[in-house]
Amino acid sequence: MAIFGLLILLTVAFTTFSQSIIQISTEKLTLLASDRISGHRKILKDLYCESWRFTVETNDAGIWDLVPARCEEFVKDYMTGDKYLSDLAAVADNSLAYAKTVKLSGDGKDAWIFDVDETLLSNIPFYASHGFGSEIFDEASFNKWVDMAEAPSVPASLRLYKDLEELGFTIILLTGRTELQRNATECNLQFAGYSNWERLILRKRSDHGKPATIYKSERRKHLEDEGYIIHGNSGDQWSDLLGFAVAKRSFKLPNLMYVVA
């Protein structure tokens, strides 16, 4: 009887232990499956957002209002991370490589055009509190930010800017900012390390309502009429670069936060 009772106890104990093992294994499998599903969903989201980024940078996406909701975190991580800085550096390197092949006339008419916002100056501190493209653009708030004149430089662009100066290019700045923002813009550019530009062109009252592509094309045409040869043009928007009177080479910087027509 003692042996029989011991066998019963051992059987019960083994059964209980086996059930515990099965339960733990089932829970682990459930967690693993959940992690795999979650990981798969993240991979799909990242793939979607990478493809969306590609269409934006190639201008296939056209005009869009807001960053897709599923890509808000992706855009934030990109614009504040090393990938964005690396992409900017690659554009600057390509720009400089081309600039070194240009034979300058030496008459001061060999021009390189730069846009300002997200090209020379970074507004990431502003967008950090305004959704990185996930919120409708608030012009009044942005104008207050411009007036503060505290936007930092885009590091790769500052390096390129100074290299182009040394090569002998005439630097011209062409921005969608208005004449009312001239003082703040000049102060900010100097604060960020820029100097010695030949001209800072801003929107006049007569430019109000013009699409950026038209406005900037007209200003480039005026420069050409003055005898300038526009060898290079750097901007974060396709509207900085397209239209007429285009540069011999145009260089598009990445920007996933907004699009300007």
Residue 249 has pLDDT above 60, yes or no: yes
Predicted confidence (pLDDT) per residue in 99-128, tens digit: 999 999 999 999 999 999 999 999 999 999
Report the mean per-residue pLDDT for the chain: 91
Strand order in the sheet with 249-252: 199-203, 170-178, 110-114, 229-235, 249-252
Structure token pair of residue 194: 């820029």
Query: Where would I find the beta strands (DSSP E) of 139-242?
Result: 170-178, 199-203, 229-235
Phi and psi at 249, nearest 5°, equal -140, 135
User: Mean pLDDT over residues 153-163, rounded?
Assistant: 98
Q: Which residue has the higher pLDDT, 209 or 13?
A: 209
Predicted confidence (pLDDT) per residue in 167-215, tens digit: 999 999 999 999 999 999 999 999 999 999 999 999 999 999 999 999 9
What's the pLDDT score for residue 141?
Answer: 96
| Continuous segment of H or E residues that includes residue 51 | helix 2-57
Residue 228 has pLDDT above 80, yes or no: yes
Q: Which residue has the higher pLDDT, 44 or 167?
A: 167
Query: For residues 185, 189, 192 and 196, what is the CA-based torsion angle, rounded to 10 degrees?
Result: -170
Supply the pTM of this predicted model.
0.84
User: Mean pLDDT over residues 229-242, rounded?
Assistant: 98
Secondary structure class of 96 (helix, strand, coil): helix
Q: How many CB atoms lie within 10 A of CB 257?
A: 22
